[in-house]
Structure formats: structure tokens, C-alpha cells
Amino acid sequence: MRMKLVDEPKGLVILVFPKLQDPQWPLWSPLDIFAIASSLMHAGYEVCAIDDRVDPEARAKLARDLPGALFVGIGTKFGDQLRNALAIAQEIKAARPDVPIVMGGWFPSLFPDSVFESPHFDIAIVGPGDFCAPEVADRLLAGEGMEGVTGVYARENGAIVRNPKGHLPDIRKTVAIPWAKVGIRHFILQHGWINLFTSRGCPGECNFCAIYCLDPRRWTALPAERVVDDMEALQGLGARAFKVMDTDYCADVRRVEAISRLILERGLRVRYEVLGRQKNLRAMTDEQVRLLRKSGCTEIEMGVEAGSQRLSDLIRKNLQVNETAETVRRFVTYGIRIKANFMFGIPTETEEDLNETLDLMNELLDLGHDAVRFQMFRYTPVPGGDSAVDDVWKELSREDQQELSLKELADFPVTDMEPDRMFWIDESYEPVLRRVYYFYAPLALLIDVDKAFADKPLWARFLMLLRPLARWRIRRHFYRFPFEKWLNDRFGHPMPHATDDGIGPHEEVLPENRDHIETFMGDTFNPRPPLEPGVSGNGTLPGAPSPKRPKREGSRPLEGASSTPPGE
Ligand code: SF4
């Protein structure tokens, strides 16, 4: 999609968002690309934004606009998306060797020097690209170098120019995203879901987290007025429900309260879900929680990570594990469901730690199956590169710790598959971890088998038969003779690691002000009117086929695994 705010733009910039891993669901809008596009448009440039995940004509558009482009920006994290980014860059340079290619996103932010192992990239952006993109464009337009541009590494005259990385800039200085202009309608998902950012960074200090590694404990947030302005504008374009993707929406509880009040004052009929740290959630008053729910917040995602206080302290989660159930109970009582994230395979984890985590998950489930949802992640070390960004990894200093090449980082297993060897895990414990993480825990605690395997009803029925046994194993901590896991590996399918895809209908929310905990499927949320004519409501681009929830593939070789995404 081409977009501009002035009649005679200074130049054309192409921004590309490469494909992520498969399956790609839900397909949230590329907000980072939109933020960069907005700042470039405000600086007088025209932008062509290409989303390679959903646009069947992505490569054709790239080929069409490439001859007139000032530069091409490609955003990526490591793993599959990096592999796709490298392939796109190669195609671009084959067609136009003179066009500068800029890499932005999580990968260059953490591994800026590795970017230049590829001969195709000329510039790497460290940190958010919307602040430096106009300066980069102006310099390229004037034929100047990048010396002095904060957060920019550049290949110039055969050497690498490394500017200071700087700190996370104040998000209040960003320009508002012109939602209609960037084509946000095409990214509105079923039930009116759209994603939104209201803050950046995180005050937490979890040492496994990319956000902490990039800029420790910094957090910057939009004021309440701008947040609600965005919600109102998006509602006007057909959105009904907001997935607020901030890593810590609740870092400032007074801001949380101000947003809630403003939503109610303006009479917005919205539903939204946020992320919050346990420490901040516990700091909220009952009145603030009540307002939060009343304004439409129906779910809070919370990173618990471990049921073992030892492991929680090791990763600096800064929470008391034995307060988690009480925290969840309080929010559920007010009608806010908790989505609890747990991480498995943390370095030094033992079977005893694992069992403590499973016991905590069971304790939360006992609050009511509709009250809590789970996401399970496998700890993913970030080895080698320019710097060992992962403190836990650094402390391990195992024999097989190694510097990885750019290609190896692109091939690093971050998808939802089993790796060949979890080399950061003790060999005697690893088989137990595999049995629990890749089979027993998802089956016993997470998934609705009928929904998860709707396209494989026979297998779903078989799993339903196995489920009581899986639950018994998890409660009794008995993982020997794992014949069911063997059957699943041999004839079945990989298990999902989240209770749901997070874009459910409004009927699934909890009612406000529950005075007791029970298993309940509420229907008190105001039903929303249907989407306006012309709004796709399914995340499609015009002319593109409707994306469907991808079918799960058959059993595949052990070659990858899920990762904890930046932030959780
Ligand atoms: S894991 Fe979550 S809470 Fe911890 S530093 Fe990262 S974003 Fe913050």
C-alpha cells in the first residue's frame, strides 16, 4: 500500500514486513511498520508498506516500486523471519544493487554487527525505527553518511560506522498513526479485534527478556487522551476489541485509571485486553480494578513463568509465587480473566521445579476453567552473536556455548517444535521436560481438544480418552512409561501451547462483579453491532483470499521449538 501526507513527497521509501514462522495466527497488524511509515510521511516522504505475511502480491509490489525507491527497510526478529528477510534482501540487490537496504526490528537491535555479515544490508537500526527513520532518509537523499545518527550502524567505505545506541525515546514525541491512511481496516480480525500499543519498554528486570537486555527498566507511555483517541479512531473504522500489546500496560496505575475513566466518559463501547506485571496488578486499588473492567478490559496477560520461587528469583521476575493465586482470584472476582504465561526449560530447572510450576497451574485452574487461560513457552537462549544478550546464558558458560553466524541465527529454532537437543538443560532431566512440555501439560491443562484438532476429529477423540491419564500424571508427577507421548510423536500432531488464539467472541468474557468463583461462560458483555459494510473483518487485503486459522500440520521431525517472545 502506498501512502503519503503531502502532494509532492521528497522521495519513496519501501518498508517490508517479512513472513514469520508457520502457522502465522492471529495475523496482528504490523504496528512497528505503521509507526515508521507515519514518521516518514510526516517528514514529507511517501511510503510503500508491504506485508509479506498476508499480501499475495507482495513481491510484485516490491518489484514495481523498487526502481523509484530511496531505500528499502526490512523489519525482522531472529529465526524464520530473519531467514525470509535475508532472502528478500538478496532479491532486491539482484534487481537494484545500488539501493540501500536497512534492517530494523528486534534482530538488529540485539545483534547489530551480525547484520553486516550479509553483503546485502547497508544500515542496521538499534531500537525503535520511527525516531531515526526520517534522519536516515534525509541523509540518504542528500548523499550523506550516517555518522552521528543515534541508534544507527552503517556500512560506509568498507568499514562499519557504529553510533551510540541511545535510550528508548519518549513515545509521547511520536506522531499519531493515521489509521485510515495505513489501511488498518484490512487488519481488523474476526470479532473486530485489532492490536494497539500505548507504551514501550518495561520497568521489569527479567534477565531472559530481550526488552530488558536492550534497554533495562525503561518504560515510556502515551497519555490517556492519546490512547483513547486511538481507540475511538479505530472504532470508527470497524474495530470492536483491542489487544493492547504493551509489555506492561499497568506500570503506571494512575494512567490505567485515567484511561478507564476516559473510555467511560466518552461512552466508547469497546472490549480490550492488556498485559500487566503481578507487582503492578497488586498495587491497584479495588476501585481501579472495578473501573478497568467497567471500561471494557476483560483479560490481563501476566507473566508468571515459574511456580518455583528459586527459578523465579533466578530470572529476576520480582514476584512472590505464593501470591499468584490470590492475585488471579481478585481480578477474576471483578470479571477480568487472567491469561498466565509460564516458561519451561529455564536453565538449572529440575524436575522438582517443574512440578512446582505444574502445581501452581493446577491451583489456578481450580479457580474455574473459564477464569484462567494459559500460554506455555519454552525458554530460548540467545547464544553468541555480537554480545551474549542473555544473562542466564552468560552465567551458564557451558562447553557448547558458541558464537553463531548470521545464518545460524536465522536457522535458530524459535518455532513451536522440539529442538534436537536442549543443550542448556541437564541431560538426565531433559526427557522429562520433553514429555511434560510437548505433551502432558498441554493436553492436561491447556487445550480444548475439540477446538484445537477440529479438523482431525478422530485424533481429537483419541486425545480425549488420554486426557484423564495426562491429568493424573500431572497431578501425581508421574512421567515414566510415556507411551501416549510416543503414540503422539509417531501418529499424532504437535500440541498447541496456548489455551486459545486470543481473538474469541465477546460472549466468552466473564461477568462484572462476580461474588464467587465458579465455572461460568458469561454473556453479560454488550453485544456489538455487526461490522460496517466495506470492512473485511478478517485481516484480508483487498482481493486477497480470507486467511483461515491454519490447520495443524502432521507430526514433523524434531527440529524446532516455541520461544518466549520479546517481552514475555
Ligand atoms: S519479561 Fe515481561 S515483565 Fe519481564 S522485563 Fe520482559 S517485558 Fe518486562
Cell numbers describing residue 387: 554480545
Residue whose CA is at the smallest distance from ligand 1 atom 6: 567
- Choose the residue to mutate in 197, 200, 202, 304 for probing ligand 1, maximizing ligand atoms within 8 Å of C-beta: 202
* Adjacent-strand bridge partners of 301: 275, 339
- Indicate whether residue 207 lines ligand 1 (CB < 6 A): no
Residue whose CA is at the smallest distance from ligand 1 atom 7: 567
Q: Strand 2-3 vs strand 12-17: parallel, antiparallel, or unpaired? A: unpaired
Read off φ and ψ for residue 73, nearest 5 degrees: -105, 135
Cα 55 to chain centroid distance, Å, stands at 20
Report how far ligand 1's centroid is from the alpha carbon of 276 (Å): 9
- Indicate whether residue 212 lines ligand 1 (CB < 6 A): yes
- Indicate whether residue 198 lines ligand 1 (CB < 6 A): no
Q: What was the pLDDT predicted at 369?
A: 76
Question: How many C-beta atoms surround the C-beta of residue 511 within 10 A?
Answer: 13
**Separation CA 183–CA 37 (nearest Å):** 12
Q: How large is the angle between the packed helices 286-294 and 253-266, nearest 10 degrees?
A: 40
Cβ pair 493, 552 in contact under 8 A: yes
Q: What was the pLDDT predicted at 557?
A: 26
**Separation CA 425–CA 351 (nearest Å):** 11
Residue whose CA is at the smallest distance from ligand 1 atom 1: 568
Interface confidence, given as ipTM, is 0.99
Report how far ligand 1's centroid is from the alpha carbon of 205 (Å): 7
* pLDDT digits (tens), the chain, 568 positions: 899 999 999 999 999 999 987 667 788 999 999 999 999 999 999 999 999 988 889 999 999 999 999 999 999 988 889 999 999 999 999 999 999 999 999 889 988 998 999 999 999 999 999 999 999 999 999 999 999 999 999 999 999 999 998 889 999 999 999 999 999 999 999 999 999 999 999 999 888 888 887 888 899 999 999 999 999 999 999 999 999 999 999 999 999 999 999 999 999 999 999 999 999 999 999 999 999 999 999 999 999 999 999 999 988 899 999 999 999 999 999 999 999 999 999 888 999 999 999 999 999 998 887 889 999 998 877 654 444 445 555 555 444 545 567 777 777 666 566 777 787 788 999 999 999 999 999 999 988 888 888 889 999 999 999 999 999 999 999 999 999 999 999 998 888 888 777 777 776 778 775 543 333 333 333 333 333 333 333 333 333 434 444 443 333 222 222 233 333 3
Q: What was the pLDDT predicted at 261?
A: 97
CA 438, 418, 387, 146 dihedral sign is negative
- Indicate whether residue 86 lines ligand 1 (CB < 6 A): no
Q: Which atom of ligand 1 is nearest to the CA of 202?
A: 8
Cα 148 to chain centroid distance, Å, stands at 32
Exposed, middle or buried: residue 91 (CB in 10 Å: 0-12, 13-18, 19+)? Answer: middle
User: Could you give the residue ranges of the DSSP H alpha helices within 411-456?
Assistant: 430-435, 441, 449-452
Q: Which atom of ligand 1 is nearest to the CA of 305?
A: 1
In words, the CATH class of domain 2-162 is alpha beta
- Indicate whether residue 127 lines ligand 1 (CB < 6 A): no
Report how far ligand 1's centroid is from the alpha carbon of 550 (Å): 29
- Choose the residue to mutate in 219, 277, 305, 319 for probing ligand 1, maximizing ligand atoms within 8 Å of C-beta: 277
Cell numbers describing residue 22: 508457520
- Choose the residue to mutate in 218, 219, 247 for probing ligand 1, maximizing ligand atoms within 8 Å of C-beta: 247
Q: How big is the chain, counted in residues?
A: 568
* Adjacent-strand bridge partners of 14: 48, 72
Residue with cell 557504529: 162
Residue whose CA is at the smallest distance from ligand 1 atom 4: 206
**Separation CA 196–CA 235 (nearest Å):** 12
Report how far ligand 1's centroid is from the alpha carbon of 377 (Å): 14
Q: What was the pLDDT predicted at 307?
A: 98
- Indicate whether residue 444 lines ligand 1 (CB < 6 A): no
Residue whose CA is at the smallest distance from ligand 1 atom 8: 204
Single-letter amino acid, residue 148: G
**Separation CA 426–CA 423 (nearest Å):** 8
Q: What was the pLDDT predicted at 373?
A: 92
**Separation CA 153–CA 102 (nearest Å):** 10
Q: Which atom of ligand 1 is nearest to the CA of 210?
A: 6
User: CA torsion 310→311→317→320, rounded to 10°?
Assistant: -40
Q: Strand 219-221 vs strand 241-244: parallel, antiparallel, or unpaired? A: unpaired
- Indicate whether residue 276 lines ligand 1 (CB < 6 A): no
343-382: burial string, b at 16+ Cβ within 10 Å, e else:
bbbbbebbeebbbbbbebbeebbebbebbbbbbbbbbbbb
Domain locations along the chain:
2-162, 183-491
Q: Which fold has domain 183-491?
A: pyruvate-formate lyase- activating enzyme (3.80.30)
N-terminal to C-terminal alpha carbon distance within the chain? 31
List Cβ neighbours of 466 (8 Å cut-off, separation of 6 or more).
443, 484
